[in-house]
Amino acid sequence: LNCFIFDSFRFLIKGGLAGAAVYVAYDQGLLGSGKQGAEALKKAQETLPPAIQEWTNYLGWEVRAPQLPPTPKFDFSISDSWNKGVHTVVSALSVAPTRACEYTTEGWKYVKDLVK
């Protein structure tokens, strides 16, 4: 009976937290249209950094902005890659009949050698 009460109480707490999260998301406009979501995101971006800074100052923590490495530069041309792919496919198709004939003769020779 004691375990049942504990499980029921835990279920009610989890349900209440989930309901509160859905209510806050709805109240802030996150479940609305894209325009409402963009406005909520802008509001959060303006509000969160000062709030985090205030809490870190209150707790005495030092927070430094992370230094991210620069994005790598790629020398990649889509048209060159496309042209190379087309060239590879066309050259494979052009030699396909010859290769098929070669593989067929090699296969017959292999089968003849097995039968002997």
Residues 62-115 have pLDDT tens digits of 666 666 677 777 777 777 788 888 899 999 889 888 888 999 999 999 999 988
Higher pLDDT, 87 or 54: 87
- Number of Cβ within a 10 Å radius of residue 36: 13
CB atoms within 10 A of CB 73: 6
pTM above 0.85, yes or no: no
Mean of the per-residue pLDDT values of the chain: 81
Contacts of 55 (CB under 8 A, 6+ apart): none
According to the model, what pLDDT value does residue 110 have? 92
The yes-or-no verdict on residue 8 having pLDDT over 80 is yes
Helix (H, G, I), strand (E, B) or coil at 76: coil
